Structure formats: C-alpha cells, structure tokens
Structure 1
Amino acid sequence: MGGCSVLGRIWGVWRRRPGVRAVPKAPGFGTEAGHRLRPRGSSKRSRPLGGQPFPGLLQLENLSREELVDVLRAAVVDQKGKPGELTLFSVLPELSQSLGLGDQELQVVQASGKETSGLVLLSSCPQTASRLQKFFIHSRRAQRPTATYCAVTDGIPATSEGKIQAALKLEHVDGVDLVIPVKSPSRKDFQEGVKRTLSHFRVVAMGSGCALVQLQPLTVFPSQLQVHMVLQLCPVLGDHTYSARVGTVLGQRFLLPAESTKPQRQVLDEALLRRLCLTPSQAAQLPLHLHLHCLHLPGMRPGEAPMKLLAPLPSYFSRTLQCLGLHQQ
C-alpha cells in the first residue's frame, strides 16, 4: 500500500517504532500492538510552558505556518512510497514538500474532529487513498469498527458496555453548527439530513465519579461520540459544546432540551476540580479528553494480514487519569 503516511494529532506528537506485525487480538489501551507509536523528543517550540496545567497541549495560535509544518513532519510515524485559517488542510502542500514527496499531493484519508487527539491518516497516492476509503466504507456497512477512541467522562455510564443509537441532525444555531438529537424521526427528517448513528462503548475504569471509556463509532457524523456520551448523561471531560445539555437536580442528572441549550464552558464540581488540581479558570480551558487511539487497516498488499496503528495518550490525558485514579487495563 504505497503513498501512505500516519501522524499523531497536533495535540500530541508521535513517531514510529520500527517494525510492523499483525495483531490477532484487540489490545488494551496500553499494550504493544501493530505500529506502536511513542512520544517524540519535544522541540523548543512544542515544549509546554512552565506551570501549564495541560502538558503536551499545543496551541495553534502560538505557531506560524512553518512551525506547524515542522510539528506535522515530526509527527509522521510511517511513510510508504516516495520519500487563511491555519489548519492541517491549509499546510498539506508545505508538508508534502517537507516530506520530499515532490508534486505528489497529500490528502486526508481518516481523521477525527478538530479538538480530538490521536491518529490522522494521510496518503500521497490516489489509488491507496481510494482503497482505504473503500475499506472504511465497507467496514461501516458490515458494522465492523475500524477506529477505537478512549475518553474520560464526567460521570459513569449506567452499564459497563453497550450500544448507543440516536438519530442526529446538524443545525446552524447563532452562527455555530450544532448536532441535535431527533426523537422518532420521520422519513422527511431523513430526507432533510437526519442520520441514524451508532456507537459501541465499554467502561475500562471508574473512579472519582468519572470513567475511562473505550468508544467505537460504527457510523460517521460530526461530534457523534460527544453527543452520544451526553445522551448517556456522561459528557466527555473538556466538552465545552455539548456538556451543558446535562443538568443536575439534587444529585440526579437529566437531559435538557438540546434546541434551547446554548454551548458553554463545562462546569465541574469542586470535588472533581480538587482531584484534577485545577482552578475554575483553568477548567474552562480543559482540552477535550477524546483520543483516537487505534485504527484498523487492511494489509499492505492483497493477502497480507490486517494491521493496527496505535497512538499513546497525550501527556495531559495521562495526567488526568493519574489524578482520577483511573488505571488503564
């Protein structure tokens, strides 16, 4: 499979550990498997500032285009084939040149939301990109998960594992695109953009009123995993868009109407703030604790065994787990 590159999200920078092998079993978050990625040595421009409460978090507003290209080039963990707003997409031409790909254009094959850490899959080969996209589409139709995320949630799901199903639509509200659940959607609703969504979840660890949850989306929709966890009354830690939809009265959680609940900074109770060693103002800047940990890919060539790519957790994510006593299995 030529012309394929994999990199960590800009929140955490990773590089390849030599060697590729087939992995017959689904590993836990911390086990060795497939292409295992490990932290790369930090440069001066990517080193967290002293006293920063979220180590490993890179802030785009502090980077120039050249510096972002440097970060992305350093984050490439595997490269097969020939060696306006500041976004990953906007610097792909510079990144392609920096990787020595000449006139070959990089395109994003697989990526998650802009606030999510973890893996991003790029390709400079149209045939490879097409093959991978067909693989992902076929896997979704067969309801075989190809991506595994890990999340820290404020709250613990009522069951240790299960499925989350919801009809969702995207609405433009006050200048912001928001995902809204739709109850009992009609045929007309589906014709107008409502989509049935499905995710698997499994609670890996619990502590301090929070949980470490493994999430596997079986459909693709913006902010699907965040909204699904809100529907479980357990918003993802650092979700400053949808967590306001979960209200509390006398210690009991309930859903507020999504249509009339505006996004706001996530509010954490005092006990949780103490466990996280954060002030309320720091908590208002808490990054989203949703990480694309693993991607399943087909073999490099027809007949070869499938492979997995793993990205370790960003340091701020690991710090949160330590503070909450959530131990990875």
Structure 2
Amino acid sequence: MYMCKMVVISGSSGCLRTYSMMRSMRRIQKLQAFYTTVRCLSTEWQQQYYKVDSLHEPVFADSKHLFRHVQKNLLYDNENLLAFNKPSGVPMRALPGETVPSMFDILEDLRECYDTPELEYMLGLSRNQSGIILLVKHALAKVKLRKSLQAQRSQGEINHEFICVCLGEPAFTPELEKVHYQRKEINGCKQSVVVPNFHKNMKKGTVSSFKVQAEVLATSPVESSPKVSLVGITSNGGKKECLEMYMAEHLSPILGDHVYSHRVVNLAGESLKNDTNAAIQGPQVIPAEIKNLLKIGRQGHQVPLHLHKCGLTINRFPHKKSEPFTIESPLPGFFVDTMAKLQLLPNDQDIEEFDQEEFTD
C-alpha cells in the first residue's frame, strides 16, 4: 500500500506560464497562456532520451514508481471522475510476457488511494501517447459518461485536443475532415491504413472513421530537411494510432513515431509517400541537424512520441443540462525541452518562459 495525499486542484497555483489551447469545437486556435507545471528530465526513470534501450522498454523501474508519478499528476477529481496525465511509453495494459509497468498494474492502488472500489478506466491512450486519461468512480457515472460521449460523437462534436511536433510542413484544409481507416496486418504488425475511396457498401465492421481538424501553430527556423512544425489537432478520437497515421498521410510524421514515419521518405529534400507494405518498422529517420540540437546522437530510436493529449471537453455530464467542462493537461518535460531547442514558439513567445521546474521523486 502506498501513502496517498489528497490535493486541492487549483488552476494557477504553483504553475509556470507557457501555453494553452483556446477552447473551440470548430476551430483550433493558437496556443496562448497555457498554465502548466513543467518538469525536467531529472531522475533516472525519467531519462527517456538517454536511459531507455528501446521504445518498449519500461520508462519506470516498477509499478511503485509509476504509481507515485501518476498520483502526482492528478488533473481532475470530483464525485464522478478522475483524470491523470499519463506519461509516454506506458501502456494501458502490458502485452503477454512483458514486464513493463502498465496503468492496469496500478489500478488497485488507485482504488485504495481514492477510496473508490469501483474505479475503472474509461478513456485511455495508446502506449506511446502522453496526456489525459479518464477514470469513472462508480457504475452510474460509467453509464452516464458513455451516453455523453456517444451523444458528442453522434452530433459531430470534436472534443479531444492534441499537440504534436512533426517532421514536415503539413498543409491542412480549414474544414473538419472525416477520415475512414481499416486495421490491417502489415509486416506482421497490426496498423491503421486510410481508406481513400470509402463507400457505404463496404463490409460493415471493417471500416472505422474519425473526425479531425488540424492547424500548424509554428514552424521551426532551424535549417533542416524536412522542416519541423508544431501542430494542434482536435478530433473525436485518437485511438489505434489514428493521429500518427493521419500525420504520416500529410507527409509529416510525428517526431518519435517509429512505426508510421516509414510511410514517408525524403528524397532530395522532398517528402514522398512510401509504399505502405514496404514501410518496415524501425527507428525513425531524423535529420542530422535535429538530432544534434536535441543531443540524441545515435539514439534516435529512444526519442519518445511527441504527441500529447492536452485537452478533453465533456458535455452533458452528469446530466443532459450540465454545462460543458474541459480538463487540461500540462506538456511533458521532454516535449517542452524539444520545443525550446527547436525554437517552436507560437505567437513569438519568449524562450525564457520555458525555464523548467525540477521534478523530484
């Protein structure tokens, strides 16, 4: 059993001014004044750039360290819900035979910590994504939240907000896009593949879809080929590597994506689509200039995925007439560090605003 200290959530207490996603269901706004506690990579189990031997090696020594980290990253707590900031590289549930600490490994500890025996995960994230995960405290909250999320999806509301660093200068349409995709086995691994010519007569159950809208927030002045961009994304989902696939389709794979990035090749300074079946997984090809600035040398395969779920808006919960509310999540330390080193500064923000506050275990 681990000691648990309840905290009072405050919007600005102990926080540093960086960026915030301005709230909008139809349009992504520029990042401004995002209040976050920025943590540097100070302890051994946080040194993702230097201490991890492969993408799926545990970032944390054991579930005890993971629990302590997650408990300190509480984002929201009321009578119905809990929300935490999940670190990159931690799966919701480990694969058979893996010894990687997972979020399910600490579920019983969270139940005991918050005195909620029915506590259950409701909205998770892919292993390599970081950001907001949502839990329900009791069965009635689970039923009501499911209805709320289904209503949001059926009405075309996009309520998940992400931010990513990508290799490229993507061009997006200003309209909301509907993307159809399938899960296929490619080179022995299940991956998401875009269905470009979707029609209603396609076999039911094989094709899924999500709605997405994206905007380039900043482009790095660093000379590299391809360039590096900061992108804001709103979507009605982000599971099954949908956003990694989406960015690769726009010839701008996310930094730290060692799967879908190989669907893009850079020839003579131009990014081109690679044959999906020929895109074998492996360490992402990162421009030498970027690797030097990030000080990663030959350890490109250790770069964590720079895709963070920074906002979640919930409407009509717990009642149909309830006002919508938004849960926000601070950026990981490695993400802020990358932004600072690559000068990805929306709205000409001063780089001094990225002074990082040390995280101590």
Scaled by the length of structure 2, the TM-score of the pair is 0.73
1:153 to 154, 166, 181: 166
2:63 to 34, 57, 65: 65
Equivalent residue number for residue 179 of structure 1 = 192
Equivalent residue number for residue 181 of structure 2 = 168
In 2, Cα distance between equivalents of 1:137 and 1:197: 13
Specify whether residues 245 and 16 from structure 1 end up closer, same or farther in structure 2 by C-alpha distance, changes over 3 A only: farther
Equivalent residue number for residue 337 of structure 2 = 319
Whether the aligned pair in 1 keeps the contact of 2:170 and 2:251 (CA below 8 Å) is yes
Equivalent residue number for residue 94 of structure 1 = 109
What is the identity, as a one-letter code, of the residue corresponding to 1:289?
A: H
In 1, Cα distance between equivalents of 2:258 and 2:46: 25
What is the identity, as a one-letter code, of the residue corresponding to 1:98?
A: C
User: Deviation digits for residues 1-21 of structure 1, max 9, x if unmatched?
Assistant: xxxxxxxxxxxxxx864269x
Whether the aligned pair in 2 keeps the contact of 1:170 and 1:179 (CA below 8 Å) is yes
SS in structure 2 at match of 1:97: helix
User: Deviation digits for residues 11-55 of structure 1, max 9, x if unmatched?
Assistant: xxxx864269xx9944754435xxx66358999675549x9499x
What is the identity, as a one-letter code, of the residue corresponding to 2:158?
A: P
1:122 to 135, 139, 143: 135
Equivalent residue number for residue 120 of structure 2 = 107
Whether the aligned pair in 2 keeps the contact of 1:154 and 1:235 (CA below 8 Å) is yes
Q: How many residues align?
A: 304
Q: What is the correspondence of 1:17-96 to structure 2 with a 5 Å cutoff?
A: 17-18=9-10, 25-26=23-24, 28-31=30-33, 38=37, 48=47, 52=50, 60=58, 62-81=60-79, 85=98, 86-96=101-111
User: Deviation digits for residues 220-263 of structure 1, max 9, x if unmatched?
Assistant: 55111110111100001110000001012222221112133221
User: Hey, which of these two has a bigger chunk of strand by percent?
Assistant: 1
In 1, Cα distance between equivalents of 2:51 and 2:65: 23
1:320 is displaced (CA, Å) by 0.8
1:63 is displaced (CA, Å) by 2.2
Specify whether residues 46 and 206 from structure 1 end up closer, same or farther in structure 2 by C-alpha distance, changes over 3 A only: same
2:310 to 293, 300, 305: 293
SS in structure 1 at match of 2:197: coil
Whether the aligned pair in 2 keeps the contact of 1:37 and 1:77 (CA below 8 Å) is no
1:199 is displaced (CA, Å) by 1.2
Equivalent residue number for residue 131 of structure 1 = 144
Specify whether residues 159 and 79 from structure 1 end up closer, same or farther in structure 2 by C-alpha distance, changes over 3 A only: closer
SS in structure 2 at match of 1:60: coil
SS in structure 1 at match of 2:257: coil
Equivalent residue number for residue 273 of structure 1 = 291
In 2, Cα distance between equivalents of 1:123 and 1:215: 25
Specify whether residues 61 and 251 from structure 1 end up closer, same or farther in structure 2 by C-alpha distance, changes over 3 A only: closer
Specify whether residues 192 and 142 from structure 1 end up closer, same or farther in structure 2 by C-alpha distance, changes over 3 A only: closer
What is the identity, as a one-letter code, of the residue corresponding to 1:134?
A: K
SS in structure 1 at match of 2:346: coil
Equivalent residue number for residue 355 of structure 2 = none
Specify whether residues 78 and 256 from structure 1 end up closer, same or farther in structure 2 by C-alpha distance, changes over 3 A only: same
2:275 to 236, 239, 257: 257
Identical amino acids, percent of aligned pairs: 20
In 1, Cα distance between equivalents of 2:218 and 2:118: 42
- Gapped regions of structure 1 (runs ≥ 5): 1-14
1:67 is displaced (CA, Å) by 2.6
User: Deviation digits for residues 142-190 of structure 1, max 9, x if unmatched?
Assistant: 1211110000110011247454443211123344211122332455644
RMSD, matched Cα = 3.3
In 1, Cα distance between equivalents of 2:56 and 2:71: 15
1:308 is displaced (CA, Å) by 1.2
Equivalent residue number for residue 353 of structure 2 = none
1:126 is displaced (CA, Å) by 1.5
Equivalent residue number for residue 6 of structure 1 = none
Specify whether residues 317 and 128 from structure 1 end up closer, same or farther in structure 2 by C-alpha distance, changes over 3 A only: same
Whether the aligned pair in 2 keeps the contact of 1:247 and 1:255 (CA below 8 Å) is yes
What is the identity, as a one-letter code, of the residue corresponding to 2:71?
A: R
In 2, Cα distance between equivalents of 1:149 and 1:247: 25
1:316 is displaced (CA, Å) by 0.6
SS in structure 2 at match of 1:133: helix
SS in structure 1 at match of 2:302: coil
SS in structure 1 at match of 2:215: strand
Equivalent residue number for residue 307 of structure 1 = 325
Whether the aligned pair in 2 keeps the contact of 1:202 and 1:214 (CA below 8 Å) is yes
More deviation in 70-79 or 236-245?
70-79
1:90 is displaced (CA, Å) by 3.1
